[in-house]
């Protein structure tokens, strides 16, 4: 069984910026609280863009909306990339979508599995969660002559044993080796994610985010579906009809009115009429 290995990961890297920060090596931890927290700490210490923090296990892995991210040893990719993007604050959410597209490219290339993307950051397969993205702007990480930091945290389940999961998650999670039926080398997958993320970040910087949105739409399991969203002004229900160029979700209400959701959480109506 192959496990995440820094030498193997770096030997597979085809990037020129991500994972190649000048004067600062990448990190692989046997066990850490959260790779996102470690990358934020490095950002506050002034680490340059491109540094990658990897872990074989997280003891305090974090998901969106304050949820925990289960991270048993060697069960997945736990990876955080420190970026310092040269873009407007308003373009930052695009990096979450870009990370989702990067994961979909890498998973297809390494495991031959086609994933779905649920707005805004869920990686799904067969209606179950395979991975997620947590993009955060760490406070206190901006220094003179340095652009503000953005930490993109990526979790992908590769090799789970359902017994290790809390009961409420068992029916809702998926993992790559289960789908492909093949052992997977996590170092190869992490290197492929880094390469795809670099390509997509370059597109954002070149003002070509529209092509990322188009690729995201090609993987969407959200558009055309009946959704429920929690917004600061309450819950709303409607059909997810489009994604804007900035990555916001357009929902059409039964009144015909459209609402643009820049951030937040949605649930999708299933064939049983329930929302998940």
Contact set with ligand BTN (CB under 6 A): 34-36, 58, 61-64, 67, 69, 78-80, 121-122, 132-134, 153-155
Nearer to ligand BTN, 154 or 201 (CB): 154
Q: Considering beta carbons, is residue 59 or 258 the nearer one to ligand BTN?
A: 59
Cβ-based neighbour number of residue 267 at 10 Å? 16
| Cβ-based nearer residue to ligand BTN, 5 or 252 | 5
Shortest CB 252 distance to ligand BTN, Å:
26
In the complex, residue closest to ligand BTN by CB: 132
* Residue 214 CA neighbour count, 13 Å, CB half: 6
CA distance readout (Å), 84 to 136, 204, 247, 258:
12, 13, 19, 34
Q: CB–CB of 85/204 below 8 Å?
A: yes
Within 10 Å of residue 206's Cβ, how many Cβ atoms?
9
Which is closer to ligand BTN, CB of 36 or CB of 158?
Answer: 36
CA 56 to chain centre: 17
- Is residue 21 within 8 Å of residue 47, measured between CB atoms? yes
Q: Would you state the structure tokens that stand for residue 50, as one six-digit string?
A: 């491109």
Select 65 or 255, whichever has its Cβ closest to ligand BTN. Answer: 65
Give CA–CA dist 256/276, Å, rounded.
Answer: 24
Q: Which is nearer to ligand BTN, 16 or 139 (CB)?
A: 139
* Chain-centre distance for alpha carbon 128: 15
Q: Closer to ligand BTN at the Cβ: 53 or 243?
A: 53
The rounded distance, in Å, linking the Cα atoms of 103 and 84 is 20
User: What are phi and psi for residue 202, nearest 5 degrees?
Assistant: -65, -40
132 vs 186 by CB, closer to ligand BTN = 132
Q: How far apart are CA 138 and CA 130, in angstroms?
A: 26
Q: For the residues of 25-80, what is the DSSP string, one character each?
A: --EEESSBS-HHHHHHHHHHTTPPTT-EEEES-BSS-B-GGG-B----TTSEEEEE
């Amino acid at each position: 069984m192959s496990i995440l290995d820094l030498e193997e990961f770096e030997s597979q890297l085809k990037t020129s910026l991500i994972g190649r920060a000048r004067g600062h090596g990448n990190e692989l931890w046997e066990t850490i609280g959260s790779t996102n927290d470690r990358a934020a700490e490095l950002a506050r210490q002034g680490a340059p863009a491109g540094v990658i923090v990897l872990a074989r296990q997280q003891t305090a892995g974090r998901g969106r909306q304050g949820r925990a991210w289960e991270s048993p040893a060697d069960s997945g990719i736990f990876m955080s990339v420190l970026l310092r993007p040269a873009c407007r604050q308003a373009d930052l959410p695009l990096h979450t979508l870009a990370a989702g597209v990067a994961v979909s490219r890498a998973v297809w290339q390494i495991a031959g599995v086609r994933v779905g993307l649920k707005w805004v950051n869920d990686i799904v397969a067969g209606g179950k969660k395979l991975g997620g993205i947590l993009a955060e702007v760490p406070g206190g990480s901006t220094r003179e002559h340095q652009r503000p930091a953005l930490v993109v945290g990526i979790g992908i389940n590769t090799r789970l044993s359902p017994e290790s999961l809390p009961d409420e998650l068992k029916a809702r999670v998926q993992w790559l080796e289960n789908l492909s039926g093949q052992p997977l080398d996590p170092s190869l997958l992490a290197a492929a994610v880094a390469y795809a993320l670099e390509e997509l970040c370059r597109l954002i910087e070149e003002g070509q985010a529209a092509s990322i949105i188009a690729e995201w739409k090609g993987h969407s399991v959200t558009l055309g579906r009946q959704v429920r969203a929690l917004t600061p002004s309450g819950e709303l229900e409607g059909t997810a009809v489009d994604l804007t160029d900035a990555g916001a979700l357009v929902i059409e209400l039964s009144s015909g009115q459209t609402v643009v959701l820049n951030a937040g959480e949605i649930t999708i109506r299933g064939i049983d009429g329930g929302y998940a």
